Amino acid sequence: MRDAVPDAVPAAEPAAIPCPLCGAADVRAAYRVTRWKTPFDVARCVSCDLLHVNPRLPREHLDAYYDAAYYGGGADWHYADERKREAQVRVRAAGRLGRVERTLAAAGIGARRVVELGSAFGVFLDEARRRGWDVQGCEIAEASASHAEEVFGLRIHRADLADAGLPPASVDLVTGSEVVEHLAQPMRTFAAAHHVLAPGGIALFSTANERSVARLLRGGDWGYLMPGHVVLWSAATLRAALRRSGFIDVRVTAGDERGLRNFLEFRRAAGSGSRAAWLLRRLRVGDWTLGAGMVVTARKAGARP
Ligand SMILES: [Zn+2]
């Protein structure tokens, strides 16, 4: 299913946009976020419940978030430089990749080809390559994309997956860590993910769950409401978006590290973290979670010849 959702990024002035998930025009105001240089408004779709930035800031303004300052620390908000926490990124990557490898193997799929959306400095892809994966990334931030190419020798597309020119059915995993909340046109990217995956291929994304106690308590001061985060997913809206994009077996889990061993490795790499906090992060009641971290996995239907 490929419903056309209208372009959701105004070219010049902040403008009311249709819902980036379902295309509906009716939204109700949720929060006015004022603690950044450029205040913005967050609204909830009346039809599908998607929490998102609306009116949306102009395209030039969004693009400006991903310059060198975004990683270097000079921007209003900047990305935690993964070069300073490379060990943690590798442990988390190994945990996720191990789970995907087992799922693919159970389906009789031996191929290991991954494209990472928002591949940043390339640590995840380098870790995947060490495990035998054929790897490529999509990264619109030039500073980190060129680092990944020069330091790790990776193949990085300077484009959204929808514009990267990957052949259909050419990868076994499409993944992204804290990137789906940045997508101006998420349905376009999810359709592209479905398109480039081979039958039986897996999509795996992590983001924050807005149906979390953290968001409920903090409201407009919730930490995840920050410049560049244009879609605030819940387990329910992310599940709906992926199903609408053709995916099956869509599963959402709270927290990240699944096994205790992976958690202990992560704790060693991070130098902090308690077992109690790890367990609490994984608590959920229906789609509501205590902590905001969630991981969604989904599968493209079909079998390999
Ligand atoms: Zn909607």
pLDDT tens digits, one per residue of 174-196 = 999 999 999 999 999 999 999 99
pLDDT tens-digit readout, 10-61: 777 788 999 999 999 999 999 999 988 888 999 999 999 999 999 988 766 6
What is the 172 CA–ligand 1 centroid distance (Å)? 29
Residue 141: Cβ-neighbour burial (10 angstroms; 0-12, 13-18, 19+): buried
Q: Give percent above pLDDT 90 in the chain.
A: 62
Q: What per-residue confidence (pLDDT) applies to 37?
A: 80
Tokens 């059915």 -> residue: 169
What is the 301 CA–ligand 1 centroid distance (Å)? 25
Residue 237: half-sphere exposure toward Cβ, Cα within 13 Å: 26
Q: What per-residue confidence (pLDDT) applies to 2?
A: 39
What is the 203 CA–ligand 1 centroid distance (Å)? 22
276 against 146, higher pLDDT: 146
Those residues with Cβ within 8 angstroms of residue 3's Cβ, 6 or more apart along the chain or in another chain: 22, 23, 187, 244
100 against 286, higher pLDDT: 100
Q: What per-residue confidence (pLDDT) applies to 267?
A: 74
3-state secondary structure of 170: coil
Specify the length of the chain in residues: 305
What is the 303 CA–ligand 1 centroid distance (Å)? 32
Give residue 1's pLDDT band: very low, low, confident or very high (50, 70, 90). very low
When the pLDDT of each residue in the chain is averaged and rounded to a whole number, the result is 87
| CB of 116 closer than 8 Å to CB of 157 | no
What is the 262 CA–ligand 1 centroid distance (Å)? 36
What is the 291 CA–ligand 1 centroid distance (Å)? 24
What is the 242 CA–ligand 1 centroid distance (Å)? 13
In the predicted structure, residue 108 carries a pLDDT above the cut 80: yes
Q: Give the range among 36-40, 161-165, 250-254 with minimum mean pLDDT.
A: 36-40
Name the pTM for this structure: 0.90
What is the 273 CA–ligand 1 centroid distance (Å)? 37
In the predicted structure, residue 3 carries a pLDDT above the cut 50: no
In the predicted structure, residue 291 carries a pLDDT above the cut 80: no
Average pLDDT over residues 165-171: 98
What is the 236 CA–ligand 1 centroid distance (Å)? 12
Give residue 297's pLDDT band: very low, low, confident or very high (50, 70, 90). very high
Q: What per-residue confidence (pLDDT) applies to 72?
A: 60
Q: DSSP assignment, residue 6?
A: P
User: What CATH architecture is 79-299?
Assistant: 3-Layer(aba) Sandwich (3.40)
Q: Give the range among 34-38, 113-117, 137-141, 169-173 with minimum mean pLDDT.
A: 34-38
Pinpoint the alpha helices (H) of the chain.
59-63, 68-72, 86-106, 123-130, 142-152, 186-196, 213-218, 235-244, 260-270, 275-281
Average pLDDT over residues 122-131: 97
Q: Give the range among 116-125, 169-178, 202-211, 289-298 with minimum mean pLDDT.
A: 289-298
| CB of 30 closer than 8 Å to CB of 51 | yes
Q: What per-residue confidence (pLDDT) applies to 105?
A: 96
In the predicted structure, residue 245 carries a pLDDT above the cut 50: yes
Q: Give percent above pLDDT 70 in the chain.
A: 84
